[in-house]
Amino acid sequence: MTENNIEMLQYRPAVGIMLLNRQGRVFLGRRIDMPVAPAWQMPQGGIDPGETPRQAAMRELEEEIGTGKAKISGGVWGGRYRGQRQKWFAMRFTGRDVDINLATEHPEFDAWQWVAPDRLPELIVPFKRQLYIDILAEFREHCIACRDEERSSC
């Protein structure tokens, strides 16, 4: 494909999810399709025709980590990134760790972990690093632990 042809392609509408647990840690999954150089990432994927970004975000959680136990706490309607036009959501995980099940119909991850938000840039593949730094800046206020008296709103 020539450079001119690439410039003619449209960006794929997509969503990304920064899923935070009650301790303010971020969910990362290790991609199955990159065993030589493990790649950790937050859940993300395309928006299907007729689907809203919020619906797509909830569907992607179900498809990628086997749970829909989350509520949206913030969104960024950001710009273009190579290959996709992404809408990112900060979500608070409302379940327990046992609710996460990577053995979905079409698995994308083979391992997962909760990490401190500031560790995201060091764990992510280099081509996504700046994106994750930008997402952290936008969602910083959501990356806090929930205190007991706030649990109903977290």
pTM of the full structure: 0.83
Asked if residue 24 lies in contact with residue 115, where contact means CB atoms within 8 angstroms, the answer is no
Bridge partners, residue 57, by sequence:
none
Beta-strand relationship, 12-20 and 84-93: parallel
Per-residue pLDDT tens for 67-111? 999 999 988 765 444 455 789 999 999 999 999 999 999 999 999
Per-residue pLDDT of the chain in tens (154 residues, 90 and over written 9): 666 666 667 778 899 999 999 999 999 999 998 877 778 999 999 999 999 999 999 999 999 999 999 999 988 765 444 455 789 999 999 999 999 999 999 999 999 999 999 999 999 888 889 999 999 999 999 998 876 545 555 6
3-state helix vs strand vs coil in the chain, percent to 5: 35, 30, 35
Residue 77 CA to residue 89 CA, distance in Å, equals 9
Q: Which residue in 94, 93, 90 sits closest to 140, CA to CA?
A: 90
